[in-house]
């Protein structure tokens, strides 16, 4: 298991809140994302940070995100009562796209609503 995956797993298994500074340090250790690398279906989750929105996506039945192409992103894929996945356009107030953005001197794929 690589170091990034180990740290990610440790964060997911932590019982207490994760400080913003720890997440920022983890982010800085990762390679920038590419648009091509983002294409596909992604299972979502969240780290406990103490943010007032923690737990809200789970309550909405959030599954994750689907990146069909740079211009076709479903950011809030949820699961209904029949276990069928759907893009919750109402909750997200639309869909999204992927752009390349300069962030801290690196160009990375960024989901934009």
3-state helix, strand, coil in the chain (%, to 5): 30, 35, 35
Report how far apart, in Å, the C-alpha atoms of 45 and of each of 21, 57, 101, 107 are: 19, 9, 23, 24
Which token pair is 29?
Answer: 């250790």
pTM for the model stands at 0.87
Q: Per-domain residue ranges for the chain?
A: 31-112
CATH of 31-112, one of 3.40.50.980, 2.40.128.580, 2.40.50.140, 3.40.190.10: 2.40.128.580
Q: Give me the percent of the chain exceeding a pLDDT of 90.
A: 85
pLDDT value for 33: 96
Q: What is the mean pLDDT of the chain?
A: 94
Taking the CA atoms of 49, 54, 83 and 67 in sequence, report the sign of the dihedral they define.
negative
Tell me: pLDDT of 107 over 80. Answer: yes
Tell me: pLDDT of 113 over 80. Answer: yes
Tell me: pLDDT of 15 over 70. Answer: yes
pLDDT value for 18: 95
Tell me: pLDDT of 1 over 80. Answer: no
Mean pLDDT across the stretch 66-86? 97
């Amino acid at each position: 298991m690589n170091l990034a995956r180990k740290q990610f797993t440790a964060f997911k298994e932590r019982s207490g809140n994760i400080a913003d500074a720890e997440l920022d340090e983890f982010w800085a250790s990762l390679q920038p994302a590419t648009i091509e690398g983002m294409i596909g279906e992604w299972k979502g989750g969240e780290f406990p940070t103490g943010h007032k929105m923690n737990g809200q996506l789970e309550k909405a039945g959030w599954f994750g995100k689907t990146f069909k192409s740079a211009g076709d992103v479903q950011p809030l894929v949820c699961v209904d009562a029949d276990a069928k996945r759907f893009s919750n356009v109402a909750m997200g107030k639309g869909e999204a796209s992927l752009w390349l953005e300069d962030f801290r001197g690196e160009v990375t794929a960024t989901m934009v609503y």
